[in-house]
Structure 1
Amino acid sequence: MIREDLMSLPWPLAVVEGALVTPDLAGPTGSAVWLMPSQEEQRARLEKRHPEGVHHGYLWGWQLIRTQLDAAPDATTIAVDNQTVSQTLAAVEGQFAERIAAGPTGGS
């Protein structure tokens, strides 16, 4: 259903976030970018959020996406270890600068 929702959007540009949006689900990867921490960074973030113990599903999800990205030669990733939100946003904007410039843009 997520893929159907994405494909039905009337806008040429959309930001979709979520662990369930895998490369296989997203389709052509030229229009997508994955923000990926290293496995070590992912584990450290999870341990900070879940000091009682990290559920294996979180790490399984990271590995699923990483495996699919590795198998997709045209998939784009941005490493987010030690990046601020501003740095990550700038990297995403840089990745899609041409598409953003082409619009459409809001106006009255």
Structure 2
Amino acid sequence: MCRTRAVLDIVGDKWALLVVRMLKDGPLRFTELKRAIDGISQRMLTVTLRDLERDGILTRTVRNVMPPHVSYELTPTGRTLREAAAPLLEWSLENLPHIEAARAAYDSRG
């Protein structure tokens, strides 16, 4: 396998980029991320967070209080990914209406 494919798999994962985007202003707890990312299931968020932690994109911090306080924060590598992905995320938001209109037009032809 091409070694860069592992990195491109992160960039190509819609949930990973949304998590990275949500962590841009600092650490968030699991429930805050879940509320902020529309459509993500609890299981998918858990899997995405574990994968990003494994890849060194974010860190997971557990504070021993009752109940335990777990937060997630971008690493320096995660911050550079966020900077690199920001133009793509902005493009997505700007062009969403055009894409939705094009899809509706395409689907109505059928």
Report which of the two has the higher share of helix.
Answer: 2
- Between the two structures, name the one with larger relative contact order (CA 8 Å, sep ≥ 6): 1
TM class, shorter-length? 0.3 to 0.5
Report which of the two has the higher share of strand.
Answer: 2
Structure with max Cα Rg? 2
Q: Give the alignment's TM-score, normalised by structure 1.
A: 0.32
